[in-house]
Structure 1
Amino acid sequence: MLGRPVLLVLLSSIGGGAAAADQLALAVGKGSENSDVWRLAWQRPWHWQTSFAGNGFLSGFHALSFNRWRKDNESITALGYSPVFTWRRGSSPWYLQGGIGVAYLDRTRIAGRILSSHWQFEDQLGIGWQRGRYDLGLVYRHYSNAGFSKPNHGIDLVLFSCALQLD
């Protein structure tokens, strides 16, 4: 089974020191065709940051996620991995984020949308606010197989997330 080796590679890639604390994030929102969506993610911050765009700082995190999409009697469960870049200006609590990852879906159809393959790309753009141990965000996500299989309707999601830093 291809899933196990891929999961082991993903898990080993997020190891690292304890310079920054991991986060546990819960997100809820809506998807294409008004589907209900929730997502639970474990996020490990990267242990570096660099100056970028004036007085801004570029950094990021790895995210492993368990996702559930539901519309009427249909549902999809997805496991995902995404490296996510974050950019913030100076000491502002506000930040922008973006990333492209992968997800494995247990089904390829929901609410009349056909995804054609279990493996999908997971693109995201968002804005967030972080203070102390808490992180709030609004994120747009798009799942698609990039045209490797047809038809490729894709799924769009808008999620509100709340993350708690684990000490």
Structure 2
Amino acid sequence: MNNLKPRFKAFFTPLIKTSALAFAAVLSIATPNVQAQQTSIAGDDLMTITILGAVGTLAYSCYIGQAPCSADPDLNTDKLTFSVDNGVDGAATHWRLGIGADWNKSLYEGENWRLAGRLEASLHSWDEKASATYQGDSGYIIGITPVFHYELKNWKYTPFIEMGTGPHLMSQTTVASEDKATQFQFGNILGLGMDFNGIEVGYRYLHISNAGIAQPNPGADFHNLHIGYKF
């Protein structure tokens, strides 16, 4: 059995790397182009930065053959983070509960900064109140997201920028009174925050869209307060 694991990794890791790099390239090209015609200039710029940053970092992990882009998830289940996000997209209120496990190794370790992160599972709820022209609606979303952290080192507290993208499944095809065409979506994260000795506080932007799999594809853009606790 001990000899099977190296053979398994040797066979599947190149396949996973190639497939993920191809997926990252297609997603990075397709999503901004599809969405650019359906969002405001400011919103589109933020969306594009989020997607390209997250997909680019994922592609880098594939290039070096390291988790999350490897046959071995390489998770440290002794280092978990529980997080709560709360925000809005127009009249829709959004809540996100996340639980994540750190990767055992940083993707990059420099003198002044590192690239690390975790794999997060999330449960979302959204609710849009009724108005004179709309009866109101609500729903749920589940997702899996590799969240990459660009962290400064040698500080009393740790500033970070976070990026991530992963598959999400919605309870319905309508979010924030807009038809998303498919229940399967991609959730893209861009965040800015500070780690106070194991407590994360920051801002998280969450963009949800289907990358042009089907039309219409207006996307949902939630602006959230993020609080995380490492234990």
Number of residue pairs the alignment of both structures matches: 151
TM-aligned CA deviation for residue 14 of structure 1: 5.7
Q: What does residue 25 of structure 1 align with?
A: 83
Does the alignment pair 1:80 with 2:143? Answer: yes
CA distance in structure 2 between the partners assigned to 1:107 and 1:148 by the alignment? 16
Q: What does residue 64 of structure 1 align with?
A: 121
Which residue identity is paired with 2:164? G
Deviation sequence 1:110-142 (CA, Å, 0-9, x none) = 333110100001111111111223111211110
Select 1:99's aligned residue among 164, 182, 195: 164
Does the alignment pair 1:149 with 2:211? Answer: no
Larger RCO: Structure 1 or Structure 2 (Cα < 8 Å, ≥ 6 residues apart)? 1
TM-score between the two structures when normalised by the length of structure 1: 0.83
Structure holding more helix per residue: 2
CA contact (8 A) 2:165 2:186 kept: yes
CA distance in structure 1 between the partners assigned to 2:73 and 2:125 by the alignment? 23
| Structure 2 unaligned blocks of 5 or more | 1-71, 130-135
Structure holding more strand per residue: 1
CA contact (8 A) 2:176 2:220 kept: no
CA contact (8 A) 1:14 1:44 kept: no
SS of 2:181's equivalent?
coil
TM-score between the two structures when normalised by the length of structure 2: 0.61
| Structure 1 unaligned blocks of 5 or more | 1-12
Deviation sequence 1:53-109 (CA, Å, 0-9, x none) = x62210111110000011013012000000011111222310001011110000111
% of aligned pairs identical? 23
Runs of 4+ in 1 over 3 A off after TM superposition: 13-18
Does the alignment pair 1:37 with 2:94? Answer: yes
Select 2:174's aligned residue among 88, 92, 109: 109
CA distance in structure 2 between the partners assigned to 1:153 and 1:36 by the alignment? 18
CA distance in structure 2 between the partners assigned to 1:146 and 1:40 by the alignment? 24
SS of 1:22's equivalent?
strand
Q: What does residue 125 of structure 1 align with?
A: 190
